[in-house]
Amino acid sequence: MVKSTSKDAQDLFRSLHSAYSATPTNLKIIDMYVVFAVFTALIQVAYMALVGSFPFNSFLSGVLSCVGTAVLAVCLRIQVNKENKEFKDLAPERAFADFVLCNLVLHLVIINFLG
């Protein structure tokens, strides 16, 4: 078994970073959006852990809104990705429209659940 060192880790991150630089900007935006949504969700979870879960339905809707958005954004990324041959026939506009529609449906539910 190869002994891992901090150098290996640095190499790993460097290669990852260089490989990621090649990613198209629109995908990077989606990635950042996902990170933003996940962080927002994390802050809410931290709030619940530290302060309390009341009102619980508000907490649930907040977290699920973030997670749902993140999932939808991931889906969008899959469809928009040029290298993904599976969706090569799908236009990016169509994918974005799906994303918006799904978001609307999701948030309609979320708002009603908010209480």
* Positions in the binding site for other proteins (CB under 8 A): 25, 28-29, 32-33, 35-37, 39-40, 43-44, 47, 51-52, 54-55, 111, 115
Whether the Cβ atoms of residue 66 and residue 41 lie closer than 8 Å to each other: yes
**By C-beta, is 37 or 80 nearer to other proteins?**
37
Structure-token match 């907040």, residue found:
62
d(CA 80, CA 95): 7
Q: At closest approach, how far in Å is the CB of 39 from other proteins?
A: 4
Reading the block at residue 101, the tokens are 């529609």
**By C-beta, is 16 or 43 nearer to other proteins?**
43
Q: At closest approach, how far in Å is the CB of 4 from other proteins?
A: 30
Q: Using alpha carbons only, how large is the chain's radius of gyration in Å? A: 18
